[in-house]
Amino acid sequence: MAAATQQITVNSGGVVSVGFTRSPPISLMSAALNSLTMVDTLNLSHGTGAAQANRIYHSRLTTTATINLQNRVDPWGDALTFHKLKLVRIKNLGATDIEVIGNNTPTLNVTPWSTDKITIPPNGVLRLEAGDVNAWAVDTTNKQIRFQLASGTIEQDVDVVFVGVDTS
């Protein structure tokens, strides 16, 4: 039997459009209306190079979870070992803040921030994208991301999506 093939295509993006008015204007030379529109997109085709990815992992986890990105199972049940991350999306589904921890211990070094925690408020989303060929490296030392509550003891759910490259 022939091995199954997988194709991945990612189209991720966001539009931020903000407009506000000031009355009265600061001066006759300034406008009463100020606006800003930003459009960001990340398009990844199937592969292992720049603007490419070949693997995806998604799950609903609890805030006590630690994810080893070199020991996962993809949605089709195949073993998954990320070597590079191109897209990280984490949504807090709970009613209290959660913390995403990267480099706080020697085995938690995969995140692109240094020794800090990133706090995601209730219903908040953290989205990180890197389309270049290197993205964020995942290796035997830098492979884990941990979640925890910022305060309190009631566990809550977190939705995660990781898209990246598996070269094994």
Q: What's the confidence (pLDDT) of residue 81? A: 93
Q: How far apart are CA 63 and CA 149, in angstroms?
A: 6
Render pLDDT for 51-90 as a digit per residue (tens, 0 to 9): 899 999 999 988 888 888 889 998 888 999 999 988 889 9
Ranked by mean pLDDT, which of 2-6, 82-86, 103-107, 128-132 comes out on top?
Answer: 82-86
Render pLDDT for 8-44 as a digit per residue (tens, 0 to 9): 777 776 666 665 655 555 555 555 555 667 777 888 8
Structure tokens given for 100: 């995403």
What pTM does this model have?
0.79
Domains in the chain (CATH in brackets) are 53-165 (2.60.120)
Among the listed residues 50, 42, 55, the one whose alpha carbon sits nearest the alpha carbon of residue 128: 42
Half-sphere exposure of 138 (CA within 13 A, CB side): 27
DSSP 8-class letter at 152: S
Q: What's the confidence (pLDDT) of residue 107? A: 42
Render pLDDT for 89-112 as a digit per residue (tens, 0 to 9): 999 999 998 888 765 444 444 555
Among the listed residues 138, 128, 158, 129, the one whose alpha carbon sits nearest the alpha carbon of residue 80: 138
